[in-house]
Amino acid sequence: MIKLFWREHRATGLFFFFCLIWMNGLLLLEVDFKSVATIYLNSTLLFFFALFIGYRFLRDYRRLYALNFHNAEDYMDAFKLQTEQAELDAIRLLHKTQAEIRETNDFQVAWVHEVKTPLTAMRLLLDELPSSETKQQLEVEWLRIHLLVDQSLHTLRLSAAEHDLLFEKVSIRQAIIKEVQELQNWCFLKELEIDLAVGDDVLVTDEKWLRFIVRQILSNAVKYSHTGGLITIRYTKNELIIHDEGIGIRMEDLPRIFEKGFTGSTGRKQSASTGMGLFLANQTAKKLGLTLQATSHKGTDLIIRFPEENTYAKVRK
């Protein structure tokens, strides 16, 4: 540490001794100035310089105590070595954390797939039951569990969705029909009518993730619709609009409905609300290059905007 301190402050020390020699040279030219006074003056200056150097050494030592300064050429080199070591430690910690997250995600994915097995068995058992109001209610509760499990699985896969995307020509009408069929028991229980005003339009997108977005929006529409209500689904000018005549969304809640975990005043009335559905739908939409928008007037409109066809896509046709 002493050697490193001298390398850092040698310019100060050399300047002091140069000034001291220069002053003594001038004093020698002054014949009336006594030699004893010169000794006192030099001793005083050296004493205060030693105090100053000692103070600086102790202060620097406290600052550099935690650094690996043994192989450093100067202070900057010591800080550089410490920064490199801190960067290596941070990288190791990041890799360790990422490995733990992957391990946790793998465990959760495996758990979700394990849950699907008894759910499938329950579905088969329900199909064997005679038609009744109780069966219909059980089918709806089974569907809600199935939707939550499906949501959990897509949540785990969303961070790596770029590696799972498969863009191809998709019939918007057929994709929506499949999701409506998934929710038909819930719609029957609430006596909901679904008006599908979607033509045979074909878009290039990922069908699985698009259906996931529609599933989140459509399940919310069913959940918050009044018994005997109407859900309208229409597609026009690159916009898919899902409208329900339910309880709607308050104006002050609209800017935050796509935030993670936000349930709003409407969601707080529903104990089953998690505040994750629209958040996941919005995050997925961004992966696909889509945008989501919500409006609320005599119900709720959820709008999925598809990008306009670019020149490259037109040429490929």
Q: Residue 222 contacts by C-beta under 8 Å, 6 or more apart in sequence?
A: 183, 186, 187, 190, 192, 231, 244
What tokens does 144 get?
């809600």
Separation between Cα atoms, residue 223 and residue 190, nearest integer Å:
9
Domain-by-domain residue ranges, the chain? 2-65, 166-316
Question: For residue range 187-226, what is the model confidence (pLDDT) as tens digits?
Answer: 988 999 999 999 888 988 999 999 999 999 999 999 888 9
With b for 16 or more beta-carbon neighbours within 10 A and e for fewer, the 4-33 pattern comes to: bbeebeeeeeeeeeeeeeeeeeeeeeeeee
Instruction: State the pLDDT at residue 89.
Output: 85
Helix (H) or strand (E) holding 311: helix 311-316
CATH assignment, 166-316: 3.30.565.10
Helix (H) or strand (E) holding 171: strand 168-171
Instruction: State the pLDDT at residue 311.
Output: 45
Q: What's the chain's length in residues?
A: 317
Instruction: State the pLDDT at residue 281.
Output: 92
Instruction: State the pLDDT at residue 304.
Output: 94
Separation between Cα atoms, residue 143 and residue 135, nearest integer Å:
12
Please report, in tens digits, the pLDDT of each residue of the chain (317 residues total).
566 666 667 677 777 788 878 777 767 766 566 676 777 777 888 888 888 878 777 776 666 665 555 555 666 666 676 777 778 888 999 888 888 887 887 888 788 888 888 888 988 888 888 988 888 889 888 888 888 888 888 888 887 777 788 889 999 999 999 999 999 889 988 999 999 999 888 988 999 999 999 999 999 999 888 999 999 999 988 899 999 988 888 888 888 888 887 877 665 555 556 778 899 999 999 999 999 999 988 889 999 999 876 544 554 55
Residue indicated by tokens 């960067």: 87
Sheet of strand 230-236: strand arrangement: 193-197, 230-236, 239-244, 300-305, 291-296
- Rg of the chain over CA atoms, in angstroms? 37
